[in-house]
Structure 1
Amino acid sequence: MNSRNWRGSEACRTEDPELFFPKGTDAASMDGADAAVRICRRCPAMEACAEWAIDTRQDHGVWGGLTEQDRAALRRHGRIPQKRTPIQAFASIQDAYGALAQKDGRHVIWTGGNEVRIGSVRMTPNQVAWRARRRTPPVGRVFTDCDRDGCVRHLNDQAMRQARDAARTTTAERSAAQRRTA
């Protein structure tokens, strides 16, 4: 969206303006500011609005998902928020995995972003890789067991971690029993 023509498409235009201009720093005001930021995050004009607020040095209110404190910190440190990259969308898990996972020796490296959309569901690279390779949903969160950045081949879920922990406990108990009998 062009930074010049963002007005009129903002999500806040149908909301109570008081929400975007908290009157203090008490808990109720901060809850209002948090609610305003959540509205901003779903707004197509968020980036342009934030840019405008920073450029025009708006000192009060929530603009483009940034509170007064956020904008002051950005100005103080000379940082401007980076543009969001759109989430890549795919028709199936296999399509996403095929397009964004590249085999590299013993590893499979994820070349896409931190999130993809499969239909209307957002998924992490680990979730996509797990389901693409195993064709079953994971139990709990999926983590990598690999030190290689971006590797989505060496994954484990909660069930695998519990089984591994149980095996370690059993091995440790056997070792302790052997030491006692020796």
Structure 2
Amino acid sequence: MSTTLFKVVKSHAAPNTGSRATDWRDNALCRSDQYDADTWFPKGTDAASMDAEQEAVRICRRCPAMAPCRDWAIETRQDHGVWGGLTAQDRADLRRHGRIPKKRTPIQAFASIQDAYGALTRKDGRHVIWIGGNEVRIGSVRMSPNQVAWRARRKTPPVGRVFPDCQTDGCVRHLNDQAMRQERDVQKRETAACGTRSGYQKHRRNGETACDPCRRANADADRNLRKTGTTTTERSAA
């Protein structure tokens, strides 16, 4: 293993320390005889080379000298090899953008909605939890987890956007679409209780004379709206 003090591009071993003070290089894993210098310089862009590069990154991330090694490689513009847990492309991205762009996870593709739903969900009591990514491809169409689950369970397309109807994180069993939301709004209006602003509005929609409790509740809500900008009190004292 070479002991050159980073003069040759492909030297990745720690230097001879006899003529300098101890520093981060003394603790570097790449000094170990366990690794060959070529470990940090995978050749090619084929799958095997990419796997080798990621293995070098994993070794670097266990190294106690990772941070200073990384900083040194960036400052000295090392254009080849893995240093401090960063590949040459990572360092180029840092110089160009000031950060390493997140690597996008490939969108999983399935032949059918049922295939995607079966592969990317798991049952959890009364819930069905989505365990896939934020998007899947069914044929040439991209779909969200909620769209996949809705169509898989109901066999029909939703009306408008699909939203979760459950407090459980990732649940795609309890969903609602625009038609369901509109139906609930109608039911809510129809069952509005007397003695509330909603009850007063129900009387008006039905062409009825509002009862006293509803008139008082509506007046209280109007006063509150003028004072605070919101109608927080629905029900007035009898």
Pair 1:180-2:211 in alignment: yes
CA RMSD in angstroms, aligned pairs only: 3.0
Higher normalized helix content (fraction of residues) = 1
Matched, 1:104 2:146: no
Instruction: For 1:172, give the aligned amino acid.
Output: A
- Counterpart contact for 2:93–2:101, Cα < 8 Å: no
Q: Which moved more, 1:104-113 or 1:79-88?
A: 79-88
CA distance 1:81–1:90, change in 2 (3 Å): same
**Structure 2 counterpart of 1:129, which letter?**
A
* 1:3 and 1:49 in contact (8 A); partners too: no
Question: Could you say which residue in structure 1 is the equivalent of 2:220?
Answer: none
User: In the alignment, does 2:180 pair up with 1:160?
Assistant: yes
Per-residue Cα deviation, 1:111-165 (whole angstroms, up to 9, x for no partner): 1000010001000000000000000000000000111110000000000000001
Deviation at 1:80, TM superposition (A): 2.2
1:58-97 matched pairs, under 5 angstroms: 58=96, 71=97, 75=98, 79-97=99-117
Q: Distance in 1 between matches of 2:149 and 2:194?
A: 36
Aligned residue type for 2:93: I
Contact kept, 8 Å, 2:146 with 2:162, in 1: the verdict is yes
**Could you tell me the TM-score, scaled by structure 2's length?**
0.45
Change in 2 beyond 3 A, CA 1:3/1:98: farther
Please give the secondary structure, in 2, of the residue aligned with 1:108. strand
How far apart in 1 are the matches of 2:88 and 2:134? 25
1:1-182 correspondence runs (5 A): 51=90, 53-55=92-94, 57-58=95-96, 71=97, 75=98, 79-172=99-192, 176=199, 180=211
Deviations 1:159-182, CA, capped at 9 Å, x for gaps: 0000001111111166735x8278
Larger Rg over CA atoms: 2
Task: Tell which has more relative contact order, 1 or 2 (C-alpha 8 A, sep 6+).
Answer: 1
Q: TM-score, normalised by structure 1?
A: 0.58
